[in-house]
Every structure is written in structure tokens, then in C-alpha cells.
A and B are shown apart, each in its own frame.
Chain A
Amino acid sequence: ENISDFSVNITDCTQVVVPEEVFFTVAAAGILENLLILIAVVRNKNLHLPMYFFICSLAISDMLGSLYKTLENIFIILCKMGYLTRHGDFEKKLDDAMDSMFILSLLGSIFSLLAIAADRYITIFYALRYHNIMTLRRALVILAIIWAFCAGSSIAIALFSYEAATVIPFTILFPLMMFFILCLYVHMFLLARSHARKIASLPSSTVHHRTNMKGAITLTIFLGVFLCCWAPFVLHILLARFCPHNPYCACYMSIFHVNGTLIMCNAIINPMIFAFRSPELRSTFKKMFYCSR
């Protein structure tokens, strides 16, 4: 194996290493949690609703992300132990496949979050016609389109290299979607606030301020978590494309493993802020666990 010739400077930014135990624990927790949600939705007929299908789509993309990281780590361990060569064709193809799985997970997450936000928006602003607008069949068609698009673009990005033409749309898509989701939620939030004001006949507004504070906290958590978990990786891709030899960029890129762990943490947190808020889903879990005892 070739090691670069220049001497390692003490001031170099060495790779920040995340211990493998932490890595595998986080990944396993993410996979298990999301799998649990999928099983719960499949088993309970009451949960066959568009809202839960979108949550399932989010769970699947989270699972894919964690799975990718786990497989990659296993791959590295196998390489270290010498079972796999590093230069073979098979490894490269496998590597490409795993790359596309990861990008599929990211795109799937973004579009699932968008679908969940749009679904809630329609629930609030088209309340009485919701069941006509968002039928089960339409929800499944929407999900099929989303996943087909994500699969196509992830394969394209993984195969057709990392030219600027692919990196830039990818990195623009991310903040654009975030902004759009933020707008949807802010609009819903404003409506909730105005309705809370209308029904609160108490002149002292401490009650509904608290409620709206809760809404503000919830919204901030939704978007803050997604941003904090995915933005580091997106910035990493940008820097790797445009300034790989700059020392500042190289120092940022040395924390890549931490960024990867953050993405897996997102897979753990997402079910908590989306799926577990539903009482029906929680009661399904309780039934599942009590029945198994």
C-alpha cells in the first residue's frame, strides 16, 4: 500500500475517529427503531393512512442510511483483515452501489419530510376535503414517484461521477427543500396561532402563549434536527468538490466520521419527533410488546 511521501506535520488535521462500538450501536439502534415502525404500521390496519405511509417512507430512508454506514464499516473491517482487496473491480462496484444507497437515503429523507409537511398542510387548510384530496391510492402513487426519482438520481449521481454539474444541483436541492418545508410549517403555525387567539376568550393570554411557544419549539426541533444532522455532510461534499487541497477545507473534511455518525443519529431522532407522537402508533407498540410477553 502506498503511503504519501510527505512527512506528517504535527499541525496536520488527522482524521477524527469515532470508535467502532459507538458507530455500530448508533447504527443498530437506528435500524431497529425504524424497522419497528414499519412492522407496527404494516400490522395495524388502522394505520393504513396516507400520513403513516409518509412516516414509513421516512423510516425506510433512515434505515437505508444507517444500513449503508453499517455495511461500509463492515467492509472496512473486512479490508483491514485482508479478506477483500482494495483495488478490485468487485469492490469498486460494491462501493458504487453503496454510494448510491447513501444518496438514495438522503434524497428519500428530504422528499419524505416534504411529503409529511405537505400532508399536514392539506390536513389543516383543506380539512373537510382532505380525504378526497389525499386518498390512499394517491399517497401510494406519490410515494412511488418520489422513490423512483430518488433511485434514478442517486444512480445517476453515483455513476456519472462527481462533476460540478451533479454536485451543485444536489447541494442546492437541500436548502431549497428546507426552505419550502419551513414555509409550509410557518403558514400552518400562523393559522394555529390565529385560531388559538380566536377561541381564547380569556384576556390574559398566558395560556395560548404557552401553547404557541410549544408550537414554536416543535417546529424548531423538526427543522433544526434535520439541518444539524445533514448540513455538515452536504458541506463536506461541497468542499471536497471545490477545495480539496485547501488546508482549512481539509481540516473540515477530517471530521467526516463525526458527520456520518450525525446522519445516523438523525435516523434515531426522526421516529421520535414524527412517529412516536401519534397515540395510535404508541398503543400499537404497547400491544406488540405485551403480546410477545
Chain B
Amino acid sequence: MSALRLISNRTSQQALSDSDYTWDYEYYEYGPVSFEGLKAHKYSIVIGFWVGLAVFVIFMFFVLTLLTKTGAPHQDNAELSEKRFRMNSFVADFGRPLESERIFSHQMAEESQSLFHFCINEVDHMNKEKESQKGPSLESNTHFQEVPKSSGMFEEDLRCLTKFNIPNFVNTEQTSSLGEDDLLISEPPIILENKLVMKSSHRILD
């Protein structure tokens, strides 16, 4: 408000020499502003600005929703079927029925959460750091904070995660834990990172 006042005072001093100005808080006097002969409506800037802003926001929303639908259906199916094929090959090694995929995709949220918690607690315990008092919370951002800060943490993460055998965790809902005979190859940490990333991105955006 007073910023405006200063602006008007200075410009007027530069532009006009004989205008009346006051340090007035109630209303602004910009000198003789003639309102005659206006071609358009006097509030046209106001209306135009707000309409433009609304159009921009709606446009942004539509662009974002369009992003959800891009990727043609055939592309989508190809991607999905490829992933399913890979998962099937995983699963086939352990003789699991294929339908369990659906169940796991729904439950993966909770399971990966609790798995990650378990992993974190394990690492905490291993390093004998100070315990975080928080119980299992669903705050995925803080998951990353619970892991103790040390320079070799990344490798420890990998060890921890490989130990817990993330892809196999999928199977434990129906079978008992499979122990150490896992199919861990170089992929799991990446898969885990993707899953974690997915979790946290959903957490943030939902």
C-alpha cells in the first residue's frame, strides 16, 4: 500500500511539476486522470487479467490431465505386457500362481513400506545410532532421513536391501519367507529405488 504511494509520488515528481500530492493513506491521487472518452469498459484490465489467469490455470490443469493420458494405448499395453512377462518369469521360478500379481500390486504399498521400515531399523540397529522415536509412519520422505547419515550409506543400503530380497517379498504374502535363496541380481536395488520413488512421488502428489 505504502509502496504504491511512494511509486506514485516519485513518478509524479518526475512527470508533473504542479500536482498535489499528499502522503495519504486512504486514497491515491494520481493527478488529473481523465475518465472521458474511454473506448472500452473502465475495468477492462481487471477483467482481462482475471480471465487470463483463470484460462491459464485451467489450461495448465488440462495439460497435466492430458499428460496422464498420453502414451497411446498400444504403447501402454506393450509396456505392461513386457513388465508382466518379466514378473511372470520371476514368479514362475517360485511356482507362484499368476493371479497373485494383482493382489501384490494392491498390497505392495503397505508391504514395501513395512519392508523399508524393517530395513531401516535393521540398519539403525547395526550402526548403533540414536534411535528415532518415530514408529512406522507413512511419511515416505522421512524414510530417507531415518537411515543414518554416513558416507558409506549407499552401499549399506544396497546390502540391507539385497538382504531383504525385495522382489521376493512379493511372494511372502502367500508363501512363507523364502529365506536367503533369492533371485537377487543386479536389478533389485534399481527396482527398489523405482518403487520407493514411485511411493514417494505418489505420497507427494496425492
Contact = CB atoms under 8 A, between A and B. Distances in A.
Interface of A: 1-6, 9, 11-15, 45-46, 49-51, 72, 75-76, 79-80, 86-87, 91-92, 95, 98-99, 102-103, 120, 123-125, 127-132, 135, 158, 161-162, 182, 186, 188-193, 195-203, 205, 209, 211-220, 223-224, 227-228, 231-232, 235-237, 239-241, 244-253, 255-257, 260, 278-280
A42 B153 CA distance: 28
Contacts of B139: 278-280
Contacts of B69: 209
Contact of B141 (A49, A227, A256): A49
B17 interface: no
Interface in B16-61: 19-36, 38, 40, 42-46, 49, 53, 56-57, 60-61
Nearest to A254: B28
Contact of A279 (B11, B138, B189, B196): B138
B153 A202 contact: no
Contact of A215 (B5, B26, B45, B206): B206
Nearest to B201: A192
Interface in B131-181: 132-134, 137-139, 141-142, 144-145, 147, 149, 151, 153-154, 157
B189 to A, nearest CB: 8
Contacts of A11: 35-36, 42
B197 interface: yes
A199 B25 contact: no
Given A12-B33, A198-B79, A227-B56, 16 more contacts: A51-B141, A86-B25, A91-B23, A95-B5, A99-B2, A128-B157, A191-B197, A201-B102, A212-B68, A218-B206, A224-B61, A240-B4, A246-B33, A249-B45, A253-B28, A280-B134
B201 A201 contact: no
B144 A123 contact: yes
B42 A197 contact: no
Contacts of B186: none
11 contacts: A46-B133, A49-B141, A75-B25, A76-B25, A127-B193, A193-B68, A201-B80, A216-B67, A228-B53, A252-B45, A252-B49
A277 to B, nearest CB: 9
Contacts of B202: 192, 195-196, 211, 215
Interface residues of B, number: 89
A189 B147 contact: no
5 closest A-B pairs by beta carbon, nearest first, are A195-B198, A192-B201, A215-B205, A216-B64, A212-B68
B35 A9 contact: yes
Nearest to B149: A131
A131 B45 contact: no
B205 A205 contact: no
Contact of B20 (A5, A135, A198, A231): A5
A217 B200 contact: no
B125 interface: no
A220 B57 CA distance: 7
Contacts of A103: 3
Given A12-B35, A87-B23, A124 B200 contact: yes
A205 B76 CA distance: 10
B27 A15 contact: yes
A237 B105 CA distance: 52
A125 B133 CA distance: 27
Nearest to B202: A192
B42 to A, nearest CB: 5
B64 A123 contact: no
Contacts of A5: 20
A239 B7 CA distance: 10
B204 interface: yes
A237 to B, nearest CB: 7
A197 B24 contact: no
Given A211-B206, A247-B42, A220 B64 contact: yes
A216 B21 CA distance: 49
